[in-house]
Structure 1
């Protein structure tokens, strides 16, 4: 991709923009501004510098109908963005000097920013670094994840004991994101599947909306920008007035309660049945919204659905989005009328999987009865995928085994390429945790 030209930013021009935002966006006089006000004003001034290359990169991708990478991850440990953006725009010293001219300590202002702790460690940091790298290399890409209200918990020590409390990065306005109310998808759970005229029809019991929030990710020297799109769960029906008027005040809020629970907390405790159900819903929620979104974008360019793999590359960061395989197959069969075999082959050409563990017991799996209850259509599709996998390879490795749906095996079978997080890790994946599948699918 051709790089964008970044306009020169001076101390005077940045200082003027910070002051303008302080007055017009924050509504504060410099003599009464807090550290928060200065930080928000600096962030808005920096965000303005990101928007034009972001738009230009998006336009160039659409005009050239270039292939896009879609990076699906349960975690994005992006951290504080003021410092990240100033470094990538190569204006850190300019920002330091501009804030000093305004009587503010840049380091104090940077430290005031809440840490968007939407990850747990290496997996989430890897995802954030990949987004930076993709933008630096000017590779058109979207990151897809969940806009958790509460990310990684805050840790405290009281009387020598560790205590945990909810992390509240959204207690303040997240200035880097752009809400997209026009981009929302219905996500379904539960219910049953019926057969009508030889076609499967899913009749869901619950539905929530996945609503998009976009954060631009700027590459080094500000020459290219991609998008991190996070999904927030919202109710289809905002408020049940009839229940409220009957005096059922708790029931009136049930739709909102279900939706907010899904995108409320990063990694809810899944040692209980309810916790497992919520975790599975979270994974399907963001994966389904992401697959629907990339299909909408692909079809808006006038392509034929059979050409999907020429324009779409979907990378699964660990097994959390492994349901992407069955979801894409479902949409190709149920919405686009592709034959089962063609749908599986096309989905596989689009999907690749990054493994993060060599321990078989650490690979994600779901009780089959829970999975079938929450995602009945996908349960049938996985049975279909397994049947074709066993028939085509002669392998005895099953995706559904001893009452469990094994997401590592599903991700491997539905991917055209599998990798570890390093060259050595990739070799060990072939030799250990997926040795039998590596034999069944050599060179995958």
Structure 2
């Protein structure tokens, strides 16, 4: 929308006065932020209303993306950018002596996600709106985010992330759209005399689900989609037997915390309740809205609604949709099942067995008795239908209920028309290995949708310096179509352009260096290679491999302090799940390695190690633009896709990585020589699995470099890690190195040497950086959601 600076300044001053009864001379940053958010909300309100009316009147099909995580980060600058008024507002505030970036610091991250899964969901929300596609989010409004990470004496300590303390100005509470979700009790079926089995309930626990809507504003268009987050509350008219403090506590816990500790039964039960809570609430609202606006036969709902199951957490969408159609809307079982399969689609995000959810049959039966009945019936009917067609083996291997467990991935695949992986390698592994039996039965359902990122946040907001240089070089068309960045290839040999790009990188390194000094008290050399690994801390992501290489560099410098090495700054950002002991031990080791190296005067500025606590979206926006190198070093076949690799590429960062996930496609897109590849391939990993002939102990005993590094974990070389060092040492040498860290070590060292060699040639490095930026277009989430829209959801973009 068009907005003059004069009009904005007038609106802002009036809003500040009316909202807080103060003026600019007395207002604090919290008041300034709240007033500014209120003004921005006023600017988009009419667009939101108009787009909702357009959707209702046209009746076009809409997609609903169900995800237990969303990780939007801060919304202020994103909303200003997408409304086309970021520059105007910044300049208007400057006239008042106010820095927009300082105001933005007041806003907390909407940290209602953990890592890549939640961030992908938020990139999709941005891209759906920005491409004019009618796609909405559905999740939980957690009172506390994942957790706020503090590093104390090298250990991760988890504190509550109270992101809602000052409210959330972007959300709208819709109390009139609240629905009830029920748990437990008894259920039985009675014939109504017409051949229909009607469920009857007794002693159910009732919970009120209240939706909070947050607008997802499209980039410089008229689309405003909705992210609906549900809060659990106590219903007004409550059965006296439930009117007690324990019931109230349990009700509030449903939307209190992302990923409660699932190391005990009560924690797992709460997790299952959360999953059903947001699934049931979301589907009820969708069906109510459909019936209220479309006035069409409920059996035709697949023509108007697509529901997407993002990983297995929303898998209960399948039986809950069946329950609503059969029990509440009177649709016959066969028609309801056909409709459910047409409506539902599923993305698999991992092949790790611990992440493919399975729930004890008895737990589901007690907590969700009607849903359990429906799952049993789905499994029974499918078995009866397929046994004579495909035989007992395939049917048994793909049962939903097996060995007393309900398999949520199986439920998601069977109850939907599409199952996709998130990178070509991952999708091939699903078809060929991990879900091969399902692929044999439903080959037409399997497809690939390589992940993408929202470039608006990851360069236009996070890296305004680089964005401006690209504008000056090739114009602004790339801001609407990331493929246009390919025009940069014409400047690969242009010295001025290369210098500008590297100057922008240097400025971002200075900015990060200042933050590191402020937060960590460590002074780093901006001329050094900034080598970054930021992602969840998990053994398969192999932060440990990075740490072992750092120790090698350190020992080399200790032996020869005058060694001619390019200075290196290794930067980590990672949270470990609170109950993941091994990952927390790795964090402790990294921090103690950092303390040892950073306080050793003999290495001077040649080597520094920084662990930045509480990694989140806002910190990523500072770190990623400053990185020279991004570490994507998971064991081949384990990372489904990765998206930080794409963010690094967009910001002109070179990748050192394995042939895993989307790395393969990134290496192919960027071209030979523009990144650094090492390590086992997927086929080599699976060959080890088949033969069982990997012996990590042999590597430890026969490789003197590895031997010295691992012994440093247990011989006192690294202070304060007696138990953690032993745990890691044993994981590699006694328990045979599950993720082949030692097997890939030598090749990793070789790739790191190649990296250092290229960095010594500033022009060649700058050219490789440019080629990464120029070829990043295919990794836009705009491209990804268009593929989902065309191939899976069958929704169409709004014509502006």
- Once the 2 structures are TM-superposed, how far is the Cα of residue 217 of structure 1 from its aligned partner? 0.6
- Once the 2 structures are TM-superposed, how far is the Cα of residue 200 of structure 1 from its aligned partner? 2.8
Provide structure 2 residue ranges, at least 5 long, that are not aligned to the other structure.
192-196, 388-394, 446-800
Paired residues in the alignment total 431
1:94-136 deviations in whole A, cap 9, x for unaligned?
1211111111111111111111101001000111011111101
C-alpha separation between the residues in 1 aligned to 2:71 and 2:166? 18
SS of residue matched to 1:226 = strand
1:150 is matched with: 144
- Once the 2 structures are TM-superposed, how far is the Cα of residue 391 of structure 1 from its aligned partner? 2.7
Q: Which has the higher strand share?
A: 1
Greater CA drift, 188-197 or 315-324? 188-197
1:240-255 maps to which residues of 2 (within 5 A)?
252-255=244-247
| Alignment equivalent of 2:73, drawn from 79, 82, 90 | 79
Give 1 or 2 for the bigger CA radius of gyration. Answer: 2
SS of residue matched to 1:221 = coil
SS of residue matched to 2:227 = strand
1:435 is matched with: 436
SS of residue matched to 2:176 = strand
- Once the 2 structures are TM-superposed, how far is the Cα of residue 441 of structure 1 from its aligned partner? 1.1
1:64 is matched with: 58
- Once the 2 structures are TM-superposed, how far is the Cα of residue 232 of structure 1 from its aligned partner? 0.3
C-alpha separation between the residues in 1 aligned to 2:55 and 2:72? 24
C-alpha separation between the residues in 1 aligned to 2:384 and 2:261? 38
Task: Say if 2:320 is the partner of 1:347.
Answer: no
Greater CA drift, 415-424 or 262-271? 415-424
- Once the 2 structures are TM-superposed, how far is the Cα of residue 239 of structure 1 from its aligned partner? 8.6
2:228 is matched with: 229
- Once the 2 structures are TM-superposed, how far is the Cα of residue 223 of structure 1 from its aligned partner? 2.3
SS of residue matched to 2:434 = coil
C-alpha separation between the residues in 2 aligned to 1:253 and 1:115? 31
Question: 1:73, 1:321 within 8 Å by CA — same for their partners in 2?
Answer: yes
SS of residue matched to 1:217 = strand
Distance 1:186 1:239, change over 3 A: closer
Distance 1:238 1:332, change over 3 A: closer
1:203-242 deviations in whole A, cap 9, x for unaligned?
35211000011111101114211011110000014899x8
Greater CA drift, 197-206 or 371-380? 197-206
1:271-309 deviations in whole A, cap 9, x for unaligned?
111001100000000000001000011111201011010
- Once the 2 structures are TM-superposed, how far is the Cα of residue 31 of structure 1 from its aligned partner? 1.4
SS of residue matched to 1:215 = strand
Greater CA drift, 339-348 or 181-190? 339-348
Distance 1:414 1:204, change over 3 A: farther
- Once the 2 structures are TM-superposed, how far is the Cα of residue 25 of structure 1 from its aligned partner? 1.9
1:182 is matched with: 176
- Once the 2 structures are TM-superposed, how far is the Cα of residue 442 of structure 1 from its aligned partner? 1.7
| Alignment equivalent of 2:266, drawn from 247, 257, 274 | 274
2:278 is matched with: 286
C-alpha separation between the residues in 1 aligned to 2:39 and 2:433? 50
C-alpha separation between the residues in 2 aligned to 1:83 and 1:222? 16
Q: Which has the higher helix share?
A: 2
SS of residue matched to 2:175 = strand
1:5-20 maps to which residues of 2 (within 5 A)?
6=1, 8-20=2-14
Provide structure 1 residue ranges, at least 5 long, that are not aligned to the other structure.
1-5, 244-249
Task: Say if 2:136 is the partner of 1:135.
Answer: no
- Once the 2 structures are TM-superposed, how far is the Cα of residue 87 of structure 1 from its aligned partner? 1.5
SS of residue matched to 2:250 = helix
1:358 is matched with: 351
1:263 is matched with: 255
1:208 is matched with: 207
C-alpha separation between the residues in 2 aligned to 1:442 and 1:65? 32
1:51 is matched with: 45
- Once the 2 structures are TM-superposed, how far is the Cα of residue 424 of structure 1 from its aligned partner? 3.4
SS of residue matched to 1:90 = coil
1:309-388 maps to which residues of 2 (within 5 A)?
309-388=302-381
Task: Say if 2:406 is the partner of 1:405.
Answer: yes
Normalised TM-score (structure 2): 0.53
C-alpha separation between the residues in 1 aligned to 2:53 and 2:26? 41
- Once the 2 structures are TM-superposed, how far is the Cα of residue 201 of structure 1 from its aligned partner? 2.4
Question: 2:13, 2:23 within 8 Å by CA — same for their partners in 1?
Answer: no
Q: Which runs of 4+ in 1 moved over 4 A?
A: none
- Once the 2 structures are TM-superposed, how far is the Cα of residue 399 of structure 1 from its aligned partner? 0.6
Question: 2:299, 2:336 within 8 Å by CA — same for their partners in 1?
Answer: no
1:54-73 deviations in whole A, cap 9, x for unaligned?
11111111111111111111
1:156-207 deviations in whole A, cap 9, x for unaligned?
1223322110001110021001111101111000011112123332335211
C-alpha separation between the residues in 1 aligned to 2:235 and 2:355? 35
